[in-house]
Amino acid sequence: MSEIRKLPDHLINLIAAGEVVERPASVVKELLENALDSRATEIEIELEAGGRKLIAVRDNGEGMDKHDLLLAIQRHATSKISASSDLNDITTLGFRGEALPSIASVSRMTILTGRNNNGWKLSVTGGRVDSMEPAARTRGTTVTVENLFFNQPARRKFLRSESTELSWIERIVTGAALSRINCSFSLKHNGRKVLTLPVTSSTAQRLKDRYGLSDGERCVESTGQSDGVTAELTIFPDRRWANRRHQYILVNGRPVTAIQISFPLREAFSGPAGDPLILCSVTVDPSMVDVNAHPAKRELRFRKPYQIEAAVRSAVPGIAAHRVDSTVSAIPVSGQSHVSYSTEAYTRQSRVSPGAYQTAMDFETPVKREMAPSENSVNHWEDSVEIIRIAGSYLVTETATGLLIVDQHAAHERILYEKIIESVKGAMSAGQQRMLLPEEITVDEQEKHILKVYSSMIKQAGYDFRITGDTLELLSVPVGIKRGTEAVREVLKALAKGVEVSETEAERIASASACAGAIKFGDKISITEARNLFHTLFTMKDPFHCPHGRPTMIELPFSELENRFGR
């Protein structure tokens, strides 16, 4: 067996660099954080070959003296924390003291910095100091990183194309620019200016500057709160892409990824038209956040994650009221890759075309039926209206004026919501479906308290359960619920929030049950189930919107088709 030995510093730095420096964008991120922490108001980034050949970040921040400069390239040397208690209240972007030594170990790095009219230049190659000498530099710091991964050819091979690496860097710069709108940013690549973001007074204007949007571009803003947590949403609903790369999350001014924030955003705003341009800025007590969960500081842990999600969800209704209800345009405009909506806003009482109403009347029957009607009634629907299922998620039929397209998840969500809320209120029973085999859920003390307080209301909704110790045994769920344990979990989370003043407990139970228990986007259903879904949807009080305010259907008018075909 080999002897245990202490690794040399340069090898330790190489190992640390593998966690901190994944690609050129990682370098840009760390250098931007240092620049912003130094109170810079102007930052310039210059790149060559997607950052492989050169990354230079210049700022007009506080700069460093000779002593600080020498310490800056040593591992775990930082000015941002000094005691273990500081980790519980971190307000700076950087604090680990790993960035500069990690970058220096895998590149040829030069730092030119000045403070109080005294400048110094430090050169490092592969983690070893080459030189340290006086130099001319006004207040601020310039960090130049050349030949990234020159001493790790295997890592260098894993880098993608210039355009791909540049796109990652653009996202990093955008996130930093959104977190500090009082600082100007410029980005150049191979001598060409890519981004110019001047100082501004609002995040909405910064997004307009970043994406070249006009002043007339439709922008919707909303704020939500939950137990001291504030979530501010800024959305450009007419700018949509096929992915969520143009959605940004800030927590206390730090660009991060957080499922507690991204999930409710995806649930509320993603759809067949794509994903809109979004900024979600969350403000929370720093002591309630652990930013030391990942060496790259891109992931967070929250002490009370349900409060974060509740704050974001409470901001959603303010956006939903301004969403649009129209046909999606699939033809690119001016070479742009996003999908555009029309600008006619809708509310929950929005006008729907006569053709859609006619379809509702065609499906309406005097007696409301359950989701599993008799064979004779199914044949009647087959004779009256033809339904086609496409993309595994949409139901399409013809109306008097065009094609009606129904989102199966949103439609089923509306059906479950109305049935469950009526059941909770005692107006009509939603019915129960017995579990073939009881399912077990582990519950904590808070959840057991919620179950005790709201037991009668939850059972009135159609759930049946018993609790033994820390285990909930689920026996029955409301008729139509597809995923019982998920639905119960969502109900408990919804009742734990207790912040949406516009929602009663009954509405929370119904909304959470419907969201988790409905047919999912992409779930396979038979044509008979599709017809049942259509029929039942049009017996609802509001068949045109899901509980979150999103449309359950859109209509593609024949006139639009004629325009597309040039008639």
Q: By three-state DSSP, how is residue 236 classified?
A: strand
| CA 558/CA 401 separation, integer angstroms | 6
Most confident of 15-29, 247-261, 455-469: 247-261
- Residue 182, Cβ density class (10 Å: 0-12 exposed, 13-18 middle, ≥19 buried): exposed
> Looking up tokens 């990690």, which residue turns up?
102
Write down the pLDDT at residue 333.
32
| Choice among 20-29, 386-395, 401-410 with the minimum mean pLDDT | 386-395
| Choice among 25-34, 283-292, 502-511 with the minimum mean pLDDT | 502-511
Write down the pLDDT at residue 492.
86
- Residue 429, Cβ density class (10 Å: 0-12 exposed, 13-18 middle, ≥19 buried): middle
Write down the pLDDT at residue 341.
30
Contacts of 148 (CB under 8 A, 6+ apart): 21, 24, 27, 51, 52, 55, 106, 107, 156
| pLDDT over 90 (residue 174) | yes
Q: What is the pLDDT of residues 194-241, one digit of tens each?
A: 999 999 999 999 999 999 999 989 899 999 999 999 999 999 988 888
Q: What is the pLDDT of residues 100-138, one digit of tens each?
A: 888 999 999 999 999 988 899 999 999 899 999 999 888
Most confident of 25-34, 273-282, 443-452: 25-34
Most confident of 60-74, 106-120, 171-185: 171-185
**How would you classify residue 51: left for phi > 0, otherwise alpha for psi between -120 and 50, otherwise beta?**
left
Transcribe 457-510 into DSSP letters: HHHHHT-EEEEETTEEEEEEEETT-S-HHHHHHHHHHHHHH---TTS-HHHHHH
137-156 burial, b at 16+ Cβ within 10 Å, e below that, comes to bebbbbbbbbbbbebbeebe
| pLDDT over 50 (residue 32) | yes
pLDDT mean across residues, the chain: 80
| pLDDT over 80 (residue 78) | no
| pLDDT over 80 (residue 347) | no
Write down the pLDDT at residue 242.
74
Percent of the chain exceeding pLDDT 90 equals: 31
Write down the pLDDT at residue 368.
38
Write down the pLDDT at residue 365.
37
All structural domains of the chain: 9-199 (3.30.565.10), 207-320 (3.30.230.10), 354-410+524-564 (3.30.1540.20), 432-478+483-517 (3.30.1370.100)
Write down the pLDDT at residue 427.
52
Q: What is the pLDDT of residues 515-541, one digit of tens each?
A: 888 888 778 887 777 877 877 887 788
| Choice among 141-150, 273-282, 364-373 with the minimum mean pLDDT | 364-373
Write down the pLDDT at residue 153.
84
C-beta separation of 279 from 222 below 8 A: no
Write down the pLDDT at residue 466.
86
Q: What is the pLDDT of residues 454-505, one digit of tens each?
A: 888 888 888 888 888 888 888 888 888 888 888 888 888 888 776 444 567 7
Q: At 546, phi and psi to the nearest 5?
A: -80, 170
C-beta separation of 475 from 439 below 8 A: no
What distance, in Å, lies between the first and last C-alpha atoms of the chain?
Answer: 81
Percent of the chain exceeding pLDDT 70 equals: 78
Write down the pLDDT at residue 332.
31
Amino acid at 220: V
| DSSP bridge pairs for 278 | 235, 247
| Choice among 177-186, 336-345, 375-384, 404-413 with the minimum mean pLDDT | 336-345
